[in-house]
């Protein structure tokens, strides 16, 4: 019978290094653009505090720009640098902790997708491993945007790579100093780190490209440098994906063996949790096996894994574009079974956390799933 009870595996505690979670429910990162000048204000603190009060075990912030000029061009996306922004984040962290919650920031560099969220400064060079945007395929980007930004640019130089690596380290240090409970790294969706892993955008012939091992080298270097900076106490989460915003049908790995090489490099470098981003958390990752992408990540590396994608919803994020109310789908039984089987360890939920800040409490009570209304909930302020 569908439903959630206190005995559900969702509500089992989990420890990851020093991070002690009271349940397996995670608020997934969701870009919001409510931080003018990159500074998270009181409304941002209230937004996260409410989800902590609602009982969610871990909050992962929206993507946060690292301290690099080409990281994120949207001026309302928060930064992890600068006195004002860091003071704002300290308030967010303090409020979440006061509510009994845990929170980590998702460090973000958009890489080839510089320009997708606004008209950037033309004097700033976009960071692309080989100067390539990515071969356009099935995408939700308008044709004019693809035409504007898909032409090749100058590939990243060794100095560019060093500068970006240093920016990740500085931003991770800033986050730890602000009191966050760990670090999350966005390495999916066609953004910078994913662009190194994707053969279509990484055609380098130096140590940063070519073989599978070389394509994983820079993302692994970022993980290793952050691990060295923050020490052994705090966990590192790493989001990866097969699909890209340039092409939803693209893949970084065609077989489990290929995926093992890429993800194994991240775990060897110090990643604790592999955050497998897919449109449906229970979709098979490879033909002939029902195991999800998160399940394969755990099976191949032995690391903790987190699933995300369409929990409680009948349409994926892409399928629901332009829609009002997204039809609910009570897929709790399937989630419970996968958690019970230890296929993966955590479930990240995005849109239902917008619809209901008290989602964790309502799941604990066994009530119905909330309905997500795109028009009402997508621009939630608090």
Catalytic residues: 191
Angstrom distance (rounded) from CA 313 to CA 280: 9
DSSP calls for 134-202: ----S-SS-HHHHHHH-S--PPPPHHHHHHHHHHHHHHHHHHHHTT-S-EEEE--BTSHHHHHH-TTT-
Question: What is the b/e burial string over 196-222, where b = at least 16 CB atoms within 10 angstroms of the residue's CB?
Answer: bbbebbbebeeebbeebebbbbbbbbb
Angstrom distance (rounded) from CA 231 to CA 309: 31
Query: What DSSP element (H or E) covers 294?
Result: helix 293-301
Angstrom distance (rounded) from CA 268 to CA 287: 27
Angstrom distance (rounded) from CA 372 to CA 144: 30
- Specify the long-range contacts of residues 318-321, CB closer than 8 Å, at least 24 apart: 318/140, 318/248, 318/279, 319/279, 320/374, 321/140
Angstrom distance (rounded) from CA 309 to CA 28: 9
Find out whether 205 and 237 touch, Cβ atoms under 8 Å. no
């Amino acid at each position: 019978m569908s439903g959630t009870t206190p005995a559900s595996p969702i509500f089992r505690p989990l420890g990851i290094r020093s991070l002690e979670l009271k349940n397996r429910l995670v608020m997934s990162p969701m870009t919001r653009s409510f931080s003018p000048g990159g500074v998270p204000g009181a409304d941002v603190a209230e937004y996260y505090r409410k989800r902590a009060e609602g009982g969610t075990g871990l909050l992962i912030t929206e993507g946060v720009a690292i301290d690099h000029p080409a990281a994120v061009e949207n001026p309302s996306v928060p930064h992890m640098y600068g006195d004002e922004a860091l003071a704002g984040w300290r308030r967010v962290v303090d409020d979440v902790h006061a509510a009994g919650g845990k929170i980590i920031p998702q460090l973000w560099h958009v890489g080839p997708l510089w320009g997708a969220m606004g008209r950037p400064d033309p004097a700033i060079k976009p960071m692309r491993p080989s100067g390539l945007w990515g071969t356009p395929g099935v995408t939700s980007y308008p044709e004019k945007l693809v035409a504007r930004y898909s032409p090749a640019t100058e590939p990243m130089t060794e100095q560019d790579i060093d500068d970006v690596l240093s920016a990740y380290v500085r931003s991770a240090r800033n986050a730890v100093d602000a009191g966050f409970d760990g670090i999350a790294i966005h390495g999916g969706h066609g953004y910078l780190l994913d662009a190194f892993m994707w053969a279509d955008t990484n055609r380098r012939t130096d140590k940063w490209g070519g073989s599978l091992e070389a394509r994983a080298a820079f993302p692994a270097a970022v993980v290793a440098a952050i691990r060295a900076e923050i020490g052994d106490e705090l966990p590192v989460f790493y989001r990866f994906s097969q699909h890209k915003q340039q092409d939803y049908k693209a893949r970084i790995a065609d077989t489990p063996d290929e995926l093992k090489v890429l993800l194994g490099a991240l775990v060897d470098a110090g990643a604790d949790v592999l955050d497998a981003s897919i449109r449906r958390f229970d979709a098979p990752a490879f033909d002939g096996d029902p195991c999800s992408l998160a399940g394969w990540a755990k099976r191949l590396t032995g690391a903790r894994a987190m699933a995300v994608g369409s929990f409680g919803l009948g349409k994926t994020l892409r399928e629901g574009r332009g829609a009002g109310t997204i039809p609910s789908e009570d897929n709790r039984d399937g989630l419970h079974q996968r958690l019970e089987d230890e296929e993966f360890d955590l479930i990240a939920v995005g849109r239902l956390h917008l619809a209901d800040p008290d989602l964790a409490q309502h799941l604990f009570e066994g009530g119905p799933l909330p309905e997500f209304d795109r028009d009402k909930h997508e621009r939630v302020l608090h």
